[in-house]
Structures are given as C-alpha cells and as structure tokens.
C-alpha cells in the first residue's frame, strides 16, 4: 500500500556524516530511512525536514541553506527513483513515472528571521512546509515549556499564555499566501490556537499524537484534534515512544505498533479517520522502535487490519488524507 510520511530528519544525519568524513547516502545507509527501504515500503512521498538547532548555530538561515543544498544533491544523485515536489501536479507526475516524491520542509521557523523576504526565498528554493518553532522560543513565537537543566531536565509543560508574536502572525499569513503549509508540531498550545485564528486553509501537525492517550505536551488535546479535523488538516502519528505511551509517571522509550493504533483509534473517535496520517520522525527519535524503518510499514497495515480498520481507512491514514491536504494547499 502506498504511504506518505510527513516528517523525518534524515538529511541532517547525512549532513553530519559527510562532515565527519562518512560516505552515507540517501539510497542506502544505516539510519532509519533510505530510498532502498522506502521502495520496499511502497512509499509515495516522504517529507524531508531541514532541522536547525538554534543552540548549535549562530547562523540559522545559512545552516538551513547548507541542508537544502545537501537535500538537492542527494535527490539529484537518485533522480531515477525520487523527484522533488513543488506542486500537487509533481506528485501525480512522479507517481505516473514510477518514482517516489520528496517534499522539502523546514523544522524551526526562526530560519526566516521573521522576514517575509527570507520566507519567500525559502519558497523559491522549494520549501513547502515549515514548523513555526522547535523546542525554543524564537522570533515567531513560543514552544511548550521544556526544562533543559537540573533534575527535571527533559520534562515539558503546556504553555497556554504565550503564542505567536507579531512577526509570527505576519509569517503565518505570508506562508498561507505563498503555499507553505504551517506545521504546528512543537508549537505552544496558545500558538496553535493563534494559527487557527490567522489562517483559513488546512494545515498540519506533522509529527504529533493524542495528549489524552500519552500526556506529553507535544501531543494535541482533543479540542485541537477536533478543530484540526474541521479545518481539513491532518496530524501525523509520531513513532517515538515518549509521544506514544506514559510509563511509571514518565515517558516510555519503547515504541510499539499497538500504541500507535491506540492513538489512531482515539483520534478517529474525536476527529474522524480523515485527520490521521503518518509522521514517523525517523532519524530524529531514539529508543527501541518496533517499526524501525519504512520497509516495516506492512506490519502496521496488518496490525490495523487485525484491529478492525477497513481497507479504505488504512489507505486514508497511509496516504490519502495527506494527499488531500497537499492538493488543497500546494496548488
């Protein structure tokens, strides 16, 4: 069955490997994701995120450009297998030609520095989706609060007070005008509601689960899920254990298919099957993954069948829902 995955961090890992003198490539590597295993998983499209860590670079925009350059080098090297997507028509064309598709995304809205001209530059370079924040406050807005140091390091609490800043609102409105899909994964609770207030088209939470099932604030509340579905948006099931299951008062590092399906069932009850997609977060997550590569997707399909999901529902989750959003937003 065809599949679309809305989030992976593979390009950054390839970039770091090559900086260290390695020879890993997009076709075959020891990471979570490569083209060889994507073909085995019958992938239609993969979103490739250009992830920029604000604490590890003083020039976010420049670093993002380096990652974009790496992305295009890898796609060009294997252009017989995968093609870049700038519009919905590109997805259709690649499919007809027997090729997979690659959608260029950015994970960290600060790379545009709150400047519409830099956002437009990213659009011209092929960016078609962007998270507004990662795990830090930036020039656009706030993430949910993360404690970085001390005994509670790594814990996170919802921020219902601080949302998008003035520049964030400006950028979100420009994104919608251009055709860059806003991605609310990592954004604060208040920021998510601001995105609803300042957009009209569908948008996504590319790699977020249900907070009622696993309490991590990176996941969406039931109210958010319902509103996202009403807007026509989609949330991508994140494979990381910390977003799938609470464990002994903390977060689990074990990722199980059964827990993924638990989230799907809950989301289906709240927002309907039409708002569920896949957002693996491959090469951006750690822990033991039962579904540890794109070639393992048939296991998820089989498990969903065993849990009573119909063929049309599985197709909706695997690719049709996200495809609908891309048709509505990419032009």
Q: What is the 3-state secondary structure (H, E, C) of 24-44?
A: CCCCCCCCCCCHHHHHHCCEE
Contact 314, 302 (CB under 8 A): no
Taking residue 66's Cβ as centre, other Cβ atoms within 10 Å add up to: 15
Nearest to 102 by CA among 5, 12, 175: 5
**pLDDT, position 149:** 66
> Which residues, in sequence order, are bridge partners of residue 46?
5, 102
The vertex-210 CA angle with 207 and 214, nearest 5°, equals: 105
**pLDDT, position 101:** 99
The whole-angstrom separation of Cα 21 and Cα 17 is 6
**pLDDT, position 224:** 98
The whole-angstrom separation of Cα 116 and Cα 171 is 6
| The model's pTM | 0.96
**pLDDT, position 248:** 63
Digit-by-digit pLDDT tens for the chain (331 residues) are 999 999 999 999 999 999 999 999 999 999 999 999 999 999 999 999 999 999 999 999 999 999 999 999 999 999 999 999 999 999 999 999 999 999 999 999 999 999 999 999 999 999 999 999 999 999 999 998 776 666 655 568 899 999 999 999 999 999 999 999 999 999 999 999 999 999 999 999 999 999 999 999 999 999 999 999 999 999 999 999 999 999 765 556 899 999 999 999 999 999 999 999 999 999 999 999 999 999 999 999 999 999 999 999 999 999 999 999 999 999 8
């Amino acid at each position: 069955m065809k599949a679309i995955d809305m989030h992976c961090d593979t390009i950054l890992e390839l970039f770091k490997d090559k900086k260290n003198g390695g020879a890993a490539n997009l076709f075959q590597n020891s990471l979570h994701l490569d083209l060889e295993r994507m073909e085995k998983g019958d992938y239609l499209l993969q979103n490739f995120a250009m992830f920029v860590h604000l604490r590890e670079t003083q020039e976010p925009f420049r670093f993002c450009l380096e990652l974009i350059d790496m992305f295009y080098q890898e796609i060009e090297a294997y252009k017989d297998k995968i093609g870049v997507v700038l519009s919905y028509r590109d997805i259709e064309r690649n499919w007809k030609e027997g090729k997979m598709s690659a959608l260029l995304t950015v994970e960290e809205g600060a790379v545009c520095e709150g400047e519409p001209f830099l956002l437009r530059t990213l659009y011209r370079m092929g960016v078609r989706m962007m998270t507004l924040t990662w795990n830090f406050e930036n020039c656009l807005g706030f993430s949910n609060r993360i404690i970085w140091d001390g005994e509670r390091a790594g814990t996170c609490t919802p921020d219902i007070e601080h949302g998008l800043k003035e520049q964030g609102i400006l950028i979100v409105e420009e994104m919608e005008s251009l055709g860059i899909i806003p991605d609310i994964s990592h954004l604060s609770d208040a920021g998510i509601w601001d995105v609803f207030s300042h957009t009209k088209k569908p948008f996504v939470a590319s790699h977020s689960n249900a907070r009622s099932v696993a309490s991590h604030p990176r996941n969406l509340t039931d109210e958010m899920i319902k509103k996202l579905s009403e807007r026509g948006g989609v949330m991508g099931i994140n494979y990381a254990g910390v977003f799938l299951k609470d464990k002994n008062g903390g977060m689990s590092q074990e990722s199980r298919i059964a827990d993924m399906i638990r989230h799907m069932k809950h989301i289906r009850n709240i927002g309907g099957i039409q708002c569920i997609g896949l957002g693996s977060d491959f090469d951006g997550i750690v822990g033991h993954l039962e579904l540890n590569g794109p070639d393992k997707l048939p296991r998820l399909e089989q498990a969903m069948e065993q849990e009573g999901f119909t063929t049309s529902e599985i197709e909706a989750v695997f690719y049709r829902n996200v495809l609908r959003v891309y048709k509505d937003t990419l032009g």
